[in-house]
Amino acid sequence: MALFNEGCGEPAAKGFTEEQEALVLASWKAMKKDAAAHGLKFFLRIFEIAPSATRLFSFLRDSDAPLESNPKLKTHAMSVFVMTCESAAQLRKAGKVTVRETTLKKLGASHFKSGVLDEHFEVTRFALLDTIKEAVPGMWSPEMKNAWAEAYDQLVAAIKQEMKPLPSA
């Protein structure tokens, strides 16, 4: 649900302030050029916290490759990290999560099919914040942590709304 800022008529995502937007945009700009490396660190952190999470990814189940050199994980990790960060960067301007509706439906369906639970989203949230803190240590602050947490929470809420099987064609 979009809210309007008093006096300026611009949509603003619920609970996402102009200051939070500025923190997210500045940190994303600093991380963007190394998105692939940060994305991989993000997923390796998830698996360090919750090793059993590897079973949620079909492309990891039959792989003998070490996680840090698995080409499918590297591609997936970068894609997820970039989508998460881009969504956060657009949140206030768009007034909502900006992942394409078809992508959101597919994300919801794949998370549903894989058996993703609230605890998985919590581990992922922690790993994301930890990865960003490590990526931009000189910029990191409690305010930045709160900004990224709010953006992540809104993305997760949008995914959870779509966590059901895709209708058969």
Query: 3-state DSSP call for residue 168?
Result: coil
pLDDT over 90 at 115, yes or no: no
Domains and CATH numbers, the chain: 23-161 (1.10.490.10)
Query: 3-state DSSP call for residue 150?
Result: helix
Q: What is the total residue count of the chain? A: 169
Q: How confident is the model at residue 118 (pLDDT cuts 50, 70, 90)?
A: confident
- CA proximity to 47, closest of 77, 23, 87, 24: 77
Per-residue confidence (pLDDT) for residue 26, from 0 to 100: 95
**pLDDT over 70, % of the chain:** 84
Q: How confident is the model at residue 11 (pLDDT cuts 50, 70, 90)?
A: very low
Least confident of 88-92, 130-134, 139-143, 156-160: 88-92
R_g of the chain, CA atoms, integer Å: 16
Per-residue confidence (pLDDT) for residue 126, from 0 to 100: 97
DSSP 23-39: HHHHHHHHHHTTHHHHH
pTM above 0.85, yes or no: no
What pLDDT digit, counting tens, does each position of 64-79 carry? Answer: 889 999 999 999 999 9
Higher pLDDT, 33 or 95: 33
